[in-house]
Structure 1
Amino acid sequence: MRKILIPTDFSENAFNALKYAVDLLKYELSEFYIMHAFQDDIYADEDLIEKEGLENVTRSVSENSEEQLKDIVTNIKDFSPNPNHSFFIVSSNNVLVDEAETIVEKENIDLIIMGTKGRTNDKTITFGSHALQVIKYVPCPVLAIPVNFKYTQPKHILFPTNYLIPYKRRELKLLCEMASPYRAVIDMLYISASEKLSMRQKDNQNFIKETLCKNELRFKVEKSKHFINTIYKYIKENHIDMLVMVNTRHSFLEDIIEQSKVDELSLNIDIPFLALQNLKRE
């Protein structure tokens, strides 16, 4: 049983991420928790709070949240009437990151799937603040779906790595089980000025081979000092369907996750982006 958390702000981008999720996991028995954290909505209009009172505004926002969540479930079942899938709604007077973390821990969520941008759809940023916050602070893998991305089977996946991260079996198994129904090829891309691996790197590489054994792995090396540009070029030249990176302390993803650096380096990711979190959960 796969457990998936889908945060929503009721935007088209959020619903598009949900559609991608049900398509991606159409072969798996899955539970989808569709969540709306509405605390920010309560305080969005201070004049209304002064006029109606905090309690009344909170009740109104809460009821509206519940109704819209029910509508989403109806719409997604119409879009994909899959007997393998069940849906649950979560409406909470909380902020997104805190509520996401609560549900991840309570339900032992395997994966969060969300749009890279929400209601504002700011074209000057790549991810959007909510997606960035979830990737940075919630201890769960996050699959971010770009704006207006049309579902494509993930047949060619790029996984850049320096082989220095102590990978977690649960995280790699998630990727394995997601990719194997599509007979996906996973390119493990080592970007370095040297092709030589240390003993530690070789051990981590062997762990990847053992854990991703259901998939065809291709171990690639690109001699370069420009990590971000190399990834972007590789995606375009090799028709990559999904990018996978691991977010942990001192990782490449940690280095680029700050929005200013993403903008500065022009990491214009227009394919689904899976951020593994190097979890301690087993």
Structure 2
Amino acid sequence: MKKILAAVDFSEPSKNAARYALALAKDIPGSSLTLYYTYEVMTAGSDGTPLLVDTDARKVIASGALNNLKAELGDAGNVNIDIAIEPGRLSSTLVKYVEHLGIELIVMGITGTSRLEQIIIGSNTLSVISEDICPVLIVPADATYKKINKAVLTTDLKDVASTTPVKELQSVLSDLKPELSVAHVAFEVGEMPDSIKKEKDALQKMLERFNPAFFHITDPDFIDAIDKFVKEYKPDMIITVPRKHSFFKKLFTESYTKKLAYNSQLPILAIHSK
């Protein structure tokens, strides 16, 4: 997880995500950071007529803005910072760039409205997550970097062997070296079924060198369960393995964000299942 890319659009949340990305990179020896910006080659005139963008002029402006942001980030320590500007839609253009350069982590900000409990993930962030390019770290708009000493992996303990992104998880955990907790939420009260115990044992074996602590939580509401867990154990990052784009999006729809508002400073790392 040493090649890090921060996707920016010059909004304050994206600038904050870039600051977070640099601080994270400084904590991972040998890391590099790319500040990445894309722009549409077509725009709409006042009457809605499609107009071609002056790409050369746009690149010059974007290059200046990215270099200004690079300067604003301040001391980069031993982290090499590059800038990249490409025409096209973010998600499709980013796929090619990430694959070509071997980017291992994308860092993006959350676009928020005026009230904390109304925070939602921006459409660009969702589109990048849905592409399943590489792990994506979602940084809340007001988050400030704190060394990742504790992380919690949320899991439903289903089909662990075929769905767990072991390589990506091990890479993240090896680089960050956090104290790892694994939180499984059961919706009904009762003893853990044998099938779930087997899945737990399988995941335990996959992650055994990280010595994870497992927690079995009973709660009919997944978000409430994670809420309580985070309040009690105070992790610095949540790691989730969304099986589908819609599952991840569900966590951030307006009906759930109020329950997650307490967690506004906590980054969430999405690593797609295999």
Instruction: Name the TM-score class by shorter chain.
Output: 0.7 to 0.9
RMSD, aligned CA: 2.7
Inter-partner Cα distance in structure 2 for 1:242 and 1:60:
40
Provide closer, same or farther for how the CA distance between residues 48 and 161 of structure 1 changes in structure 2, counting only shifts above 3 A: same
Q: Deviations 1:198-247 (Å, cap 9, x if unpaired)? A: 2751453134323xx2x342111111221121112221232221111002
Inter-partner Cα distance in structure 1 for 2:30 and 2:211:
24
8 A contact 1:32–1:88 mirrored in 2: yes
- SS across alignment from 2:133: coil
Q: Deviations 1:60-119 (Å, cap 9, x if unpaired)? A: 22221121112222333xx23312x112211111111112211121112111011112xx
Shift of 1:38: 0.9
8 A contact 2:149–2:179 mirrored in 1: yes
Inter-partner Cα distance in structure 2 for 1:265 and 1:121:
15
Aligned to 1:17: 17
Q: Does 1:100 align with 2:94?
A: yes
Matches within 5 A, 1:107-186: 107-117=101-111, 121=113, 123=115, 124-164=118-158, 165=160, 166-180=163-177, 184-186=178-180
Aligned to 2:59: 62
Inter-partner Cα distance in structure 1 for 2:256 and 2:146:
26
Report the TM-score when normalising by structure 1.
0.81
Inter-partner Cα distance in structure 2 for 1:203 and 1:19:
38
Aligned to 1:233: 228
Provide closer, same or farther for how the CA distance between residues 55 and 161 of structure 1 changes in structure 2, counting only shifts above 3 A: closer
- SS across alignment from 1:277: coil
**What residue ranges of structure 2 are gaps of 5+ in the alignment?**
none
Shift of 1:256: 4.4
1:187 to 181, 186, 203: 181
- SS across alignment from 1:160: strand
2:249 to 225, 238, 257: 257
Q: Does 1:46 align with 2:45?
A: yes
Q: Which amino acid aligns with 1:208?
A: M
Inter-partner Cα distance in structure 2 for 1:130 and 1:217:
33
The number of equivalent residue pairs is 260
Shift of 1:48: 10
Query: How many percent identity over aligned positions?
Result: 23
Provide closer, same or farther for how the CA distance between residues 126 and 72 of structure 1 changes in structure 2, counting only shifts above 3 A: same
Provide closer, same or farther for how the CA distance between residues 275 and 97 of structure 1 changes in structure 2, counting only shifts above 3 A: same
Inter-partner Cα distance in structure 1 for 2:174 and 2:114:
33
Inter-partner Cα distance in structure 2 for 1:155 and 1:105:
30
Aligned to 2:3: 3
Inter-partner Cα distance in structure 2 for 1:25 and 1:54:
37
Inter-partner Cα distance in structure 1 for 2:153 and 2:198:
18
Provide closer, same or farther for how the CA distance between residues 107 and 237 of structure 1 changes in structure 2, counting only shifts above 3 A: same
- SS across alignment from 1:159: strand
Aligned to 1:274: 269
Shift of 1:121: 4.8
